[in-house]
Amino acid sequence: MSESLAVRDGVDESKRTWVAITCGAGAVAGIATAIPFVSTFAPSERAKAAGAPVEVDISDLKPGEKKTVEWRGQPVWIVRRTPEMIASLAKDEAELADPDSKRNQDDLTPSYARNRNRSIKPEVFIAVGICTHLGCSPSDRFSPGAQPSLPADWPGGFLCPCHGSTFDLAGRVFKNKPAPDNLRVPPHMYMADANKLVIGEDKA
Ligand code: FES
């Protein structure tokens, strides 16, 4: 994983500091985005304290929606992609820095997510919501098309407000942006009930 990313899959080096991460001159926008976002967390206090895997029920997650949980002090996003969102991933690859997720695979992309969707199931995308540049939390920009700070051919994805890095709906970073790498896909797996996920543990 990039040395610039302030989190690691072991001891949490940046324990909850993502909330207050400063991103140089661009920090204000990032913090303004992150603060209301924290109130959506509903983590188990026990799991938070132990850094344990987190179980998540996604039965209420509708197509096009995102749910955020906390794991090891980091926001983890779960997005239920629509068929249109999935289709967009095949169209933007010429614009991506690492479309095949080959960089830092051991840290960023588990073997079961080394595919175009960067996921086990095409419709469910899971990523650590921390920019690989300096650690701000990107904002959702799911709607395709022209909009402020984004190009006219925007396919839908995420925009980091700190320095303008953009990521597609599989967390793949666009070329010529400050962020060096794709967003991290954390270890995860489905339970027997396909609507139940475990974040932080897999069967690998
Ligand atoms: S922290 Fe700089 S672009 Fe995201």
Q: Strand ranges (DSSP E) for 61-168?
A: 66-71, 74-80, 124-128, 139-141, 157-159, 166-168
Indicate the burial class of 27 (C-beta count within 10 angstroms; 0-12, 13-18, 19 or more). Answer: middle
**Structure confidence at residue 203 as a pLDDT band (50, 70, 90):** confident
Contact 54, 46 (CB under 8 A): no
Nearest CA to ligand 1 atom 1: 134
Average pLDDT of span 74-86:
98
Which residues 6+ apart lie within 8 Å of 171 measured at CB? 118, 125, 127, 158, 182, 183, 184, 185
| Best residue for ligand 1 mutational test, from 4, 22, 23 (most atoms within 8 Å of Cβ) | 23
Nearest CA to ligand 1 atom 3: 163
Using DSSP's 3-state secondary structure scheme, residue 141 falls into strand
| Best residue for ligand 1 mutational test, from 19, 165, 174 (most atoms within 8 Å of Cβ) | 165
Q: Which of 9-23, 128-142, 176-190 has the lowest mean pLDDT?
A: 9-23
CA of 137 to the centre of ligand 1 (A): 8
Closest atom of ligand 1 relative to the 179 alpha carbon = 3
Q: What is the pLDDT of residue 39?
A: 43
Q: Which of 27-31, 155-159, 172-176, 184-188 has the lowest mean pLDDT?
A: 27-31
Q: What is the pLDDT of residue 44?
A: 58
Q: What's the pLDDT tens digit per position in 121-180?
A: 999 999 999 999 999 999 999 999 999 999 999 999 999 999 999 999 999 999 999 999
Contact 83, 133 (CB under 8 A): no
Which pTM was predicted?
0.79
**Structure confidence at residue 4 as a pLDDT band (50, 70, 90):** very low
Structure tokens, 13: 């080096």
